[in-house]
Amino acid sequence: MREVQSSAQGPAPSEPGGADSLQQTTERMGAARRLRLAAAGAALSGLLAIAGCSSFGKVVDVYDLGAPKSFAGLRQGTRAQLLVLEPSALKSLDAEEIVVKTSPTQIEYLARSQWPDRLPKVVQARIVEAFENTGRVRAVAKPGEGLVIDYQIVSDIRAFQAEIGAGAQDAQVSLSVKLVSDRTGKVVRSKVFEASVPLDSSASTAVVNGLNAAFDQIARDIVFWVLKAV
């Protein structure tokens, strides 16, 4: 009976974890959620700003380099296994940009145009493809692919550009190539391969088509030259 009278005299004090505690917890959770949303919004704004500068603000056309697929007159084949090293190149050519020379001493880059990767890596990949496309090589690979090697193909890109100016308008490609015995380390043979293709215009598509045609000639010549020696 005393317990009933005591409870009737006034409201019972709040217990820990009661309504007040629940309200405080809810408020804290709401504040934390608002902070998380604000941080996520700031991060998204930053990403959009970066994307706006790199993608929306600068439209770049990506052009590829092809590898020859047919080799008329090729009779040689080999059981040797070949390693194609990444070509060396000066910094102006060791890039994704497509080089244009408007004079013998002035280097520029084709506007809003680039290769799919650094030029030496693209050239390396296409030379590998060229040998594979012959169907006359036992194996050809790039470093790190676990092949037991008989010969290395070592090269240097000396020219890979459109030359426009003073009445000239050509695509110029030049590669210095060495065939090296992997067993002895000696150079079996070496040669500088060069090709020049006239350009119809200085437009990006014309320049890239000209460079593709010049490289196709050189890649084909390299294949014949190597297979005659191994």
Residues 6+ apart with CB under 8 A from 196: 170, 171, 172, 173, 214
Q: Do 96 and 37 belong together in one domain?
A: no
Q: Is residue 2 part of a domain?
A: no
Rounded distance between C-alpha atoms, residue 184 and residue 203, angstroms = 47
**Chosen domain end from 58, 74, 106:** 58
For residue 17, CA distances in Å to 10, 24, 32, 163 come to 20, 10, 20, 81
Q: Do 118 and 43 belong together in one domain?
A: no
Q: Do 110 and 34 belong together in one domain?
A: no
Q: Do 33 and 66 belong together in one domain?
A: no
Q: What's the 3-state SS for the chain?
A: CHHHHHHHCCCCCCCCCCHHHHHHHHHHHHHHHHHHHHHHHHHHHHHHHHHHHHHHCCCCEECCCCCCCCCCCCCCCEEEEEEECCCEECCCCCCCEEEEEEECCEEEEEEEEECCCCHHHHHHHHHHHHHHHHCCEEEEECCCCCCCCCEEEEEEEEEEEEEEECCEEEEEEEEEEEEEECCCCCEEEEEEEEEEEECCCCCHHHHHHHHHHHHHHHHHHHHHHHHHHC
Q: Is residue 30 part of a domain?
A: yes
Q: Is residue 5 part of a domain?
A: no
Burial of 4 (0-12, 13-18, 19+ CB in 10 A): exposed
Q: Give me the pLDDT at residue 4, please.
A: 38
Under the banding of pLDDT at 50, 70 and 90, the label for residue 61 is very high
Stretch 4-19: mean pLDDT: 45
Can you give the CATH number for the domain in which 134 is found? 3.40.50.10610
> Would the pLDDT of 141 be above 70?
yes
Q: Do 112 and 222 belong together in one domain?
A: yes
Burial of 6 (0-12, 13-18, 19+ CB in 10 A): exposed
Query: pTM of the full predicted structure?
Result: 0.75
Q: Is residue 10 part of a domain?
A: no
What pLDDT, in 10s, does the model give residues 195-229?
999 999 999 999 999 999 999 999 999 999 999 99
More confident residue, 140 or 34: 140
Q: Do 29 and 122 belong together in one domain?
A: no
The total number of structural domains that make up the chain: 2
Under the banding of pLDDT at 50, 70 and 90, the label for residue 185 is very high
Q: Give me the pLDDT at residue 30, please.
A: 59
Under the banding of pLDDT at 50, 70 and 90, the label for residue 86 is very high
| Most confident option among 25-39, 50-64, 75-89, 160-174 | 75-89
Q: Is residue 121 part of a domain?
A: yes
Question: Which residue segment(s) compose the domain that 41 sits in?
Answer: 19-58
More confident residue, 37 or 188: 188
Q: Do 30 and 130 belong together in one domain?
A: no
Q: Is residue 9 part of a domain?
A: no
Q: Do 34 and 85 belong together in one domain?
A: no
> Would the pLDDT of 62 be above 70?
yes
Tokens of 97: 């940009």
Q: Is residue 3 part of a domain?
A: no
Q: Is residue 4 part of a domain?
A: no
Q: Do 169 and 196 belong together in one domain?
A: yes
**Chosen domain end from 58, 86, 108:** 58
What pLDDT, in 10s, does the model give residues 16-39?
455 555 555 555 665 556 655 555
Q: Do 161 and 225 belong together in one domain?
A: yes
> Would the pLDDT of 140 be above 50?
yes
What pLDDT, in 10s, does the model give residues 91-132?
999 999 999 999 989 999 999 999 999 999 999 999 999 999
Q: Do 65 and 79 belong together in one domain?
A: yes
Q: Do 42 and 85 belong together in one domain?
A: no
pLDDT averaged over every residue in the chain: 84
